[in-house]
Amino acid sequence: MRNVTALLILLSFLFWNAPLCIGQQAISLFTIINKGKINISKQVDIYATSKNESIQEIIHQPLQNWKLNSNSNTINLKISDSIYWFKFKFVNNNIANKYYLKITNKGINHLDLYALMHDSIKHLGITGDYHPFDQRPYNSNHFIYPLEIKQGDSAVFYLHCDKKNENLNTALIIYTEVALKKAENKTSVYMGVIIGILLLAFIINLFLVFIFRDKLTLWYSIYILAVINMILSFEGYDFEFIYPNHPFYASVSRFISSLSTLALMIHVMKLFVKQKQDNSKFHRAAIAIKWFNLLMIPLTLIIYFRYPLLTLKRWHFYSFIAIQITGILIVLFSTLEKIIQKYKPAIFYLIATVMLLFTGVMSSLVETGVVNHSIDNINPLQWCFVAEIILISIGILYRYQLLRKENQQLFDQLSMEKINNLKEIVETQKIEQKRIAEDLHDLLGGQLAALKLKIASLSGAQKEQAEHLIDDISENTRNIAHNMNLVELNENMLSNIFANHLFQLSKDHPTQFSFSQTGNAYNFNKETELHLYLVLTEIIHNILKHAKAKEALVQFFFKEDNFEIIIEDNGIGFSANDKPGMGIKNIKKRIQKLNGHINIDSSPGNTTIIINIPVQHEA
């Protein structure tokens, strides 16, 4: 008897709901009450059309035109020119009257929901990326529709979905009000944690910019901001808070943020691993992919603004996916190459890149419809970006630690070289001082002694004055011979010595000296360096003593075949007919010893001296 009664109740229920159950499964909400939400994608009938049809036409479509999506928990329709209608039945056997339909894909162009209840049609609102944010039936960065059905009542819902020429992969989930609030709060916490970690990483790297004055930390800080912008863009927060009344930007912001982020990722990678043309096979490929990403940004704007409904969007979408995966692969291969070259910090970048590549490929497979999956909450790719930011930040600190150790080792090595060079210089100074002292004593000293004997034949005041003058000259000669410090050449190169020397002269004299260097400085042998030093000091001395110049410029040109010095001042100049003094004669002799030549061009207000010395490199 009990079995017969149960059968009659079941038949009565089916008969009562038969008009709405034909061709589809009715959704019972017992599961919703127990779990708070239910994925109804398997219970959805799908109708595809190439034209815009009214809701009345859709309701009266024959059952054979509808196809049940019973194979998956997602609705995966890939890329096509069709407009889709989704139909599902809702039977409320619970006390609650208010539920919410959530469409998990955040990038659908147009959504329009209708409810058929008691033979009457009710329009529940329009939303989508092509419509202003304030028009949404529920204030959320997701597409959500409130559904109101009284207990014991039922309705058939028709969802108009337009995502032409883009991949359509989504799920339809019904929430209770409590479950939806809980899910939104959970998402807000997740997003708060993610954005908080990224902002903290940004602040730390910005702090490192001021400490190390390094381009890497500056560009990495910009990259972190780009990642934050991309995450907010994919979640729809930029549309909600920045440009709610400009839906066009919502349809392209995800592409633009991804393209700019990948371009910055490649640029940061090149700085991080010190990738250059002479040390990497992937240098040119990395540059090409970086600039192709940047070129895709204006192309995206043109395609979506001028040709939004054409199949050109398909080409753009597949190109976008391909360039994203290719870019991450280039980063992966570049870091692998650096690890093979035994550059240890590249390990951090490699680990981060492998994670991004895996989740990026999976996301691309979902986006292209190869994999049936619809993300309801936080995208795993976002957590991978967080992990990448943390790993690379640690890698940057580790990189600086290695650089510090290398610099310390280099400093110790240079210190030993400085000591050895200083010993060589001191020994050279002693030899040169001895030679000059001997020359002064043997040549000039002897000549002065002979001159003094001849003067002895004179008489009176003239004799006394001449003898005093000879004595003064002799004393000065001895002082020069004994106290001469030929050069201040020590651990520094010639260019460094003169840069510092001219800077000091500018502080102590009215003439303001400037110094510039072109080309990579190289070492000369000790004798050449000594002659050049003496020539330059003599010219600088003449400028200070005779030129009365306000400004003077000393330029070093380190060329492959010769070393060129150009010295200019705006002093009073001198005539070519003037008899050259000892200083100019000594300068020319020293340059001749170096097989070089000198050219002097002087006029009031401009004197230019050009010296060319053939190069003899010394390791």
Query: Is 479 within the bounds of a domain?
Result: no
User: Is the Cα dihedral 12, 13, 19, 24 positive or negative?
Assistant: negative
Query: Is 149 within the bounds of a domain?
Result: yes
The pLDDT score that the predictor gives to residue 23 is 40
Query: Is 477 within the bounds of a domain?
Result: no
Binning pLDDT at 50, 70 and 90, where does residue 325 land?
A: confident
Domain stops at, among 155, 182, 209: 182
Contacts with 202 (C-beta within 8 Å, 6 or more apart), sequence order: 221, 224, 225, 228
The pLDDT score that the predictor gives to residue 593 is 87
**In terms of domains, do 260 and 359 share one?**
yes
Average pLDDT of the chain to the nearest whole number: 81
Tell me the sheet residues that pair with 555.
516, 566
**In terms of domains, do 389 and 301 share one?**
yes
Contacts with 117 (C-beta within 8 Å, 6 or more apart), sequence order: 149, 153, 154, 155, 156
Q: 3-class SS at 383?
A: helix
Higher pLDDT, residue 487 or 360: 360
pTM flag (> 0.75): no
Average pLDDT over residues 265-274: 92
Could you identify the residue written with the tokens 């002065």? 448
Query: Is 88 within the bounds of a domain?
Result: yes
> Residue 389 has which token pair?
């930011």
pLDDT digits (tens, 9 = 90+) for 183-230: 899 888 989 999 999 999 999 989 888 887 889 999 999 999 999 999
**In terms of domains, do 146 and 27 share one?**
yes
The pLDDT score that the predictor gives to residue 38 is 86
Higher pLDDT, residue 586 or 517: 517
Q: Are 532 and 524 in contact (CB under 8 A)?
A: yes
The pLDDT score that the predictor gives to residue 355 is 83
pLDDT digits (tens, 9 = 90+) for 110-120: 999 999 998 89
Q: 3-class SS at 608?
A: strand
> Residue 447 has which token pair?
């000549």
Binning pLDDT at 50, 70 and 90, where does residue 7 land?
A: very low
Q: Are 535 and 437 in contact (CB under 8 A)?
A: no
Looking at the predicted structure, is the pLDDT value of residue 389 above 70?
yes
The pLDDT score that the predictor gives to residue 305 is 81
Question: For 257-271, 429-443, 492-506, 513-527, which range has the lowest pLDDT when averaged over its residues?
Answer: 429-443
**In terms of domains, do 285 and 171 share one?**
no
Looking at the predicted structure, is the pLDDT value of residue 565 above 60?
yes
CA distance 372 to 42: 13
> Residue 588 has which token pair?
């020319």
Query: Is 226 within the bounds of a domain?
Result: yes
Looking at the predicted structure, is the pLDDT value of residue 470 above 80?
no
Higher pLDDT, residue 372 or 521: 521
Query: Is 472 within the bounds of a domain?
Result: no
Dihedrals phi, psi of 266, to nearest 5 degrees: -65, -40
Our count of domains for the chain comes to 3
Looking at the predicted structure, is the pLDDT value of residue 369 above 70?
no
CA distance 109 to 131: 8
User: Is the Cα dihedral 158, 163, 167, 171 positive or negative?
Assistant: negative
**In terms of domains, do 316 and 372 share one?**
yes
**In terms of domains, do 165 and 195 share one?**
no
**In terms of domains, do 55 and 174 share one?**
yes
> Residue 70 has which token pair?
């019973």
Highest mean pLDDT among 81-95, 132-146, 304-318: 132-146
Question: For 86-90, 385-389, 408-412, 443-447, which range has the lowest pLDDT when averaged over its residues?
Answer: 443-447
Length of the chain: 619
Looking at the predicted structure, is the pLDDT value of residue 140 above 80?
yes
Q: What is the DSSP string of 156-183?
A: EEEEEEE-TTS-EEE-EEEEEHHHHHHH
For the chain, the straight-line distance linking the first and the last C-alpha, in angstroms and rounded, comes to 110
Higher pLDDT, residue 140 or 460: 140
**In terms of domains, do 246 and 118 share one?**
no
Q: Are 143 and 103 in contact (CB under 8 A)?
A: yes
Question: Containing domain of residue 531, as a range?
Answer: 488-619
Looking at the predicted structure, is the pLDDT value of residue 62 above 70?
yes
Strands 512-518 and 551-558, by their bridges, are: parallel
Highest mean pLDDT among 129-138, 360-369, 374-383: 129-138
How large a percentage of the chain has pLDDT more than 70?
77
Looking at the predicted structure, is the pLDDT value of residue 435 above 50?
yes
pLDDT digits (tens, 9 = 90+) for 224-267: 999 999 999 988 888 888 889 888 888 889 899 999 999 999 99
Could you identify the residue written with the tokens 């005041």? 461
Query: Is 445 within the bounds of a domain?
Result: no
Higher pLDDT, residue 410 or 170: 170
Sequence letter at residue 400: Y
> Residue 509 has which token pair?
């004299």
CA distance 448 to 217: 69
**In terms of domains, do 112 and 211 share one?**
no
Domain stops at, among 182, 207, 225: 182
CA atoms within 13 A on the CB side of 221: 16
Domain stops at, among 387, 405, 423: 405
The pLDDT score that the predictor gives to residue 477 is 63
CA distance 24 to 89: 7
Q: What is the CATH number of the domain that holds 85?
A: 2.60.40.2380
Looking at the predicted structure, is the pLDDT value of residue 15 above 80?
no
**In terms of domains, do 253 and 193 share one?**
yes
> Residue 14 has which token pair?
């089916």
**In terms of domains, do 152 and 194 share one?**
no
Query: Is 369 within the bounds of a domain?
Result: yes
Q: 3-class SS at 262?
A: helix
Q: 3-class SS at 257?
A: helix
The pLDDT score that the predictor gives to residue 9 is 36
CA 208 to chain centre: 15
Dihedrals phi, psi of 345, to nearest 5 degrees: -60, -20
**In terms of domains, do 284 and 392 share one?**
yes
How large a percentage of the chain has pLDDT more than 90?
29
Higher pLDDT, residue 110 or 423: 110
The pLDDT score that the predictor gives to residue 502 is 84
